[in-house]
Amino acid sequence: MTVEFTHPNLGEEVEARAGYYAPLEEHVLPHEGREVLYILGKACIESSCCSAPGSWMYVQVPGFLVRKHVRGGGSAPYVSEVEIIQDRETRDRIREAIARKHPGVQVEIWTSDYIQAPQPQ
């Protein structure tokens, strides 16, 4: 399944209910003849009723890079086409490779559940 991925503004904090997250770096990981696009970032809980404040590093993997920067640029964010990684064994190998490069990070690989239906115009 190929979907569009809007690249985040690196270094820009995004407010959330109990804190914020900030995508920091964009990487491409070579994997079995393909390229895996991933974002390394930091999440921070500043206030919560359930836990103490804390922060952690994360990696978000949209999928295999199909076409990079198909549109956007200037004041508009770049958009690329990515293929959702559906095979469990492939996902596990990618998770392990990223964990070797970035020990201790929480790795999240997109599934088809992340895809939103197009909004009517």
**Alpha helix (H) ranges present in 25-121?**
88-101
Res. 113 pLDDT band, cuts 50 70 90:
confident
As given in the structure block, the two tokens for residue 64 are 């295999």
**In the predicted structure, residue 68 carries a pLDDT above the cut 70:** yes
Asked if 2 and 81 count as a contact pair (C-beta separation under 8 A), the reply is yes
- Say yes or no to pLDDT of 119 above 60: no
Domain ranges of the chain: 2-113
pLDDT for position 118: 52
Strand partners, 34: 31
Q: How far out from the chain centre does Cα 1 lie? A: 17
33-57 mean pLDDT:
84
Strands (DSSP E) contained in the chain are 2-6, 14-15, 19-31, 34-45, 54-73, 76-83, 106-109
Query: Among 23-27, 40-44, 50-54, whose mean pLDDT is lowest?
Result: 50-54
Q: Mean pLDDT across the chain, nearest whole number?
A: 89
